[in-house]
């Protein structure tokens, strides 16, 4: 299994040099988020990921979870690692101190999530779901629900789930059939079956808090008739401790392609006791609190996989001897040169690296804006940040997970035949990465969300949060000779994005299928432009720091920026052409002809 080392130099570069995240300490509630404290947290997280989580990643995949009459046991080492995770206070890192959390910025938690997912994606699923449940209850729960559940979720001694999908419906949640019948004591009885429930049953925590979508008896049809309920595995007693076993049980676990150490459960609710979260029939708005946070978290999973794949591929490429360099032997004292000298291997490694580092910058920027949207004292600035996060969330989810899968596949290719063999560990990354493109809304759904909801929201207000500052930056940067090799290609790609947006606005109004046909290409076009913008800013910093104490680091940044602009960004031309070709050829073939 390839070893993992947290990319702390690059993480610090993005957080402190690029995003100036040290300024977060000036925001209300973030006084403790000083650079020294954040650096110590990042270093500790990197050590935990490398020393505790990565060593049980491959073995966890080999063993998988065990199911026995409704009980699920995680693989060897997971329970011990989770106990250390809780002991270290990691579950409460971004949570409100009122409930026992550390109250640190979300963007710092993004970095920690990336490291955890690089080292062991299956493990990261368990606390990741708990954090989603915490977010939903914090915003929509009653005071009593918050008092009861949040401290337990923050401490990590209880965990959480999202119970959405049913056997007959996934994306179209308006079709759910799970019922919630009112009880005399103010609670509800939940009856129905949910599938694909990550961490629905396991042995890591003393209780599991299920957040369940269900219909009340008087519910209107469709998504407007869905309510959200909290349904714990064990009903809390008067002291708030696990009491009577609830009628919410795991019927089976899935046998999956990847993330095998994460229990994916069929959950049967047979008159299970639950309590309403938020208002009746308003469950979708409450659930989207979890969903939007989960989509960003899944984006970080893609980033984590990509980084792990790159590290493994680089180590192998430097060690594996095959043939001589085309320009002559580079290591004449060896029987052959390491494959890192070969142009095609370098193409794959640089593609992995340039996209991964661009994705890290983009996602951390979104994380920073997420913190600003919650904590900045100026209401207008909070709204601007919230708009930008909403706009970029589908891009972070879809593009970063597409890239994670691409990077893992490129990693297998660098390894050659050994990449196809399980013991080397690279093929596991491919299998683990694949689900990230599917759950929390498939990547096709992310494209529809971007095109169908985000572009038109507020008469284009969300778009302006990105277009206006990017345009101003690129106009200024392109006027400076040293920046032109980065700013001019980005400016051209940005113009393509603007043209594509205008085309979508016109054609989508005439025929919504045109917007649907273009959605995936448009999202990728947008993502590449966003990455180009981040690379321009990183290149600008690298140019300013040439010859300094970290000269080699900054020279590498410039090399990656140049590769991105010359070899990767031109894909925007193809995307623009396919996007504006319209959807006629997609829709012309009759369904019965497939």
- Answer yes or no: are the C-beta atoms of 312 and 411 closer than 8 Å: yes
C-alpha 365: how far from chain center: 13
Of the candidates 225, 224, 246, the one whose C-alpha atom is nearest the C-alpha of residue 234 is: 246
Of the candidates 366, 455, 537, the one whose C-alpha atom is nearest the C-alpha of residue 21 is: 366
312-342 core/surface letters (b: 16 or more CB in 10 A; e: else): bbbebbeebeeebbeeeeeeeeeeebbbbbb
DSSP 567: I
Calpha distance 390→134 (Å, rounded): 20
- Answer yes or no: are the C-beta atoms of 251 and 267 closer than 8 Å: yes
Calpha distance 334→325 (Å, rounded): 12
Of the candidates 528, 522, 373, the one whose C-alpha atom is nearest the C-alpha of residue 446 is: 522
Angle (CA) 133-130-260 rounded to 5° is: 125
Write out the catalytic residue numbers.
Answer: 440
Calpha distance 13→94 (Å, rounded): 21
- Answer yes or no: are the C-beta atoms of 129 and 153 closer than 8 Å: no
Residues in CB range of 185: below 8 A, 6 or more apart: none
Would you say how long the chain is, in residues? 594
The answer to whether the Cα torsion of 130, 131, 132, 136 is positive or negative is positive
Residues in CB range of 328: below 8 A, 6 or more apart: none
Of the candidates 447, 440, 458, the one whose C-alpha atom is nearest the C-alpha of residue 388 is: 458
Judged by DSSP in three states, 160 sits in strand
- Answer yes or no: are the C-beta atoms of 309 and 411 closer than 8 Å: yes
- Beta strands at 264-277 and 227-232: parallel, antiparallel or unpaired: antiparallel
H or E stretch at 250: strand 248-253
């Amino acid at each position: 299994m390839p070893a993992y080392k947290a990319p702390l130099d690059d993480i610090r570069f993005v957080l402190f040099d690029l995003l100036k995240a040290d300024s977060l300490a000036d925001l209300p509630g973030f006084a403790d988020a000083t650079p020294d404290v954040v650096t110590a947290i990042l270093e500790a997280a990197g050590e935990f990921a490398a020393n505790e989580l990565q060593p049980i990643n491959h073995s966890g995949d080999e063993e998988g979870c065990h199911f026995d009459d409704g009980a699920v046991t995680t693989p060897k080492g997971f329970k011990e690692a989770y106990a250390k995770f809780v002991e270290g206070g990691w579950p409460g890192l971004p949570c409100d101190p009122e409930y026992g959390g550390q109250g640190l910025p979300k963007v710092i938690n993004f970095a920690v999530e990336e490291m955890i997912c690089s080292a062991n994606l299956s493990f990261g699923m368990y606390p990741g779901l708990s954090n989603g449940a915490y977010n939903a209850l914090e915003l929509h729960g009653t005071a009593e629900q918050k008092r009861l559940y949040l401290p337990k979720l923050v401490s990590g001694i209880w965990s959480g789930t999202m119970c959405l999908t049913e056997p007959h419906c996934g994306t179209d949640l308006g079709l759910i059939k799970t019922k919630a019948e009112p009880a005399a004591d103010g609670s509800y009885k939940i009856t129905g079956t949910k599938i694909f429930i990550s961490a629905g049953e396991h042995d890591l925590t003393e209780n599991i808090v299920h957040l369940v979508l269900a219909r009340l008896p008087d519910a209107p049809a469709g998504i407007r008739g869905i309510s959200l309920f909290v349904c714990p595995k064990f009903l809390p007693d008067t002291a708030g401790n696990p009491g009577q076993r609830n009628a919410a049980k795991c019927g089976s676990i899935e046998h999956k392609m990847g993330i095998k150490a994460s229990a994916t459960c069929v959950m049967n609710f047979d008159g299970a006791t639950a309590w309403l979260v938020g208002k009746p029939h308003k469950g979708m708005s409450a659930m989207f609190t979890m969903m939007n946070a989960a989509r960003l978290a899944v984006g970080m999973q893609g980033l984590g996989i990509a980084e792990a794949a790159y590290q493994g591929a680089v180590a192998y490429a430097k060690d594996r001897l095959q043939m001589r360099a085309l320009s002559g032997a580079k290591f004449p004292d060896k029987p052959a040169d390491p494959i890192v000298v070969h142009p095609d291997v370098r193409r794959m490694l640089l593609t992995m690296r340039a996209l991964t580092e661009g994705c890290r910058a983009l996602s951390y920027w979104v994380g920073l804006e997420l913190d600003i949207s919650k904590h900045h004292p100026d209401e207008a600035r909070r709204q601007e940040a919230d708009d930008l996060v909403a706009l970029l969330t589908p891009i972070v989810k879809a593009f970063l997970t597409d890239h994670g899968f691409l990077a893992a596949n490129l990693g297998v290719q660098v390894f050659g035949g050994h990449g196809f063999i399980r013991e080397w560990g690279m093929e596991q990354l491919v299998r683990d990465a694949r689900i990230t493109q599917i759950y929390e809304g498939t990547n096709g759904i992310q494209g529809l969300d971007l095109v169908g909801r985000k572009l038109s929201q507020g008469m284009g207000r969300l778009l302006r949060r990105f277009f206006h500052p990017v345009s101003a930056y690129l106009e200024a940067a392109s006027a400076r000779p040293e920046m032109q090799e980065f700013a001019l290609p980005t400016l051209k790609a940005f113009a393509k994005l603007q043209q594509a947006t205008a085309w979508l606005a016109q054609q989508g109004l005439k025929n919504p299928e045109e917007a649907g046909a273009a959605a995936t290409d448009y999202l990728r076009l947008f993502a590449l432009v966003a990455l180009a913008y981040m690379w321009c800013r990183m290149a600008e910093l690298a140019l300013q720091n040439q010859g300094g104490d970290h000269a080699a680091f900054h020279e590498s940044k410039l090399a990656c920026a140049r590769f991105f602009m010359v070899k990767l960004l031109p894909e925007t031309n193809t995307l623009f052409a396919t996007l504006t070709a319209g959807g006629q050829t997609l829709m012309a073939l009759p369904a019965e002809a497939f």
